[in-house]
Amino acid sequence: MKKKIFSGVQPTGNLHLGNYLGAIKNFVELNNDDNNDCIFCVVDLHAITVNQEPSELKNNIRETVATFIASGINPKKSIIFNQSQVSAHSEAAWIFSCVARMGWLNRMTQFKEKAGKDKEKASIGLYSYPVLMAADILLYDATHVPVGDDQRQHLELCRDIAQKFNNDYKVDELKLPEPLIQKEFSRIMSLKDGSKKMSKSDSSDLSRINLTDEKDQIINKIKKAKTDPLQMPSSIEELEKRPEAKNLIGIFSSLSDLTIENTVKEFSGKDFSKFKDHLSQVLVDKIIPISKEIKKLLNEISYIDEILFEGCKKAEDIASKKIKKIHEIVGF
């Protein structure tokens, strides 16, 4: 049995190292394995849960596709499409919002973080975001969903919705997906605050390494990255009390395929400035080829649009059959 892989990325600009290490790097490995059928979705319906400038959104949709391809996803071996073009996503989201319970959504920590103190002013879409995410996944009978650690709770909600739908309607139609989350280092934190995740919407560009950054920007951001006044940690236990050091060590180890333990051993007791030079080098080696390729692909808009067009046709074919079955089960 082939694994069915589904995952999405919001086209909200500034795709960063967290998106790469938490999700896209994993997409590439899964896509390279012939035992997997992969679908990668640019989730533009999710993007408008917060304000988006329409012309920027259009560019960001293309830039997200360019990032997938520049990172190594093969469009011939996967379906790449944008969510808004397959109407079954919105339809299924409505049906599943009648299955999901308020109590379940009230527990979602991402809504609390993103809505901040003024919940009353957040969009209803931001609140029901995980229901749309469940629709995305369940329409394709995904068996595995590669995501960053921040999406773990949403995946659990997706499984709850699938289970309740099957129980309520006494069917076995919806498959319960498994999350695929990196074991060692699944959440990349802001370069300015080790307790906050690296995010596209952080107002400070110095908080993240963008996948379109130039060499000098990467070096400068690492130079300015927050650390503590001590020398480099000498044990794993120490990392728990030193979030900024933990984050930088985690980034280094993910990019250089070294374990955290070996990274700690290698730099134990050294100056942060020495370590930062090494970290900048591995980042430049990894990010600059991707950054160059993204810029090249963005000059080939018709190629990107063709990928989306072909991907939408394939996705539409799968999702329209599934929503038809769901309609029948519900009694429409």
What amino acid positions are annotated as catalytic residues? Answer: 114, 197, 200
- Listed in sequence order, the DSSP H helices in 98-242 are 102-106, 109-115, 124-138, 152-169, 215-224, 236-239
Residue 23: CB minimum distance to ligand AQP, A: 4
**Residue ranges that bind ligand AQP, judged by CB under 6 A:** 8-10, 12, 18-19, 22-23, 147-148, 150-151, 187-188, 197-201
Residue 332: CB minimum distance to ligand AQP, A: 30
| Nearest alpha-carbon partner for 171 in 317, 4, 331 | 331
Residue 218: CB minimum distance to ligand AQP, A: 17
**Residue holding tokens 């409505």?**
94
Residue 198: CB minimum distance to ligand AQP, A: 4
Structural Rg of the chain based on CA atoms: 20
Report the length, in residues, of the chain: 332
Which of 128, 151 has the CB closer to ligand AQP? 151
Residue 154: CB minimum distance to ligand AQP, A: 9
**Residue holding tokens 């996944």?**
137
Q: Chain centroid to CA 332: how far? A: 34
Which of 89, 165 has the CB closer to ligand AQP? 89
Which of 42, 99 has the CB closer to ligand AQP? 42
**Residue holding tokens 């991402």?**
110
**Residue holding tokens 């900048």?**
280
| Nearest alpha-carbon partner for 10 in 100, 70, 84, 108 | 84
Which of 15, 95 has the CB closer to ligand AQP? 15
Q: Which two tokens stand for residue 95?
A: 């049906």
Which of 61, 147 has the CB closer to ligand AQP? 147
Beta bridge partners of 9: 42
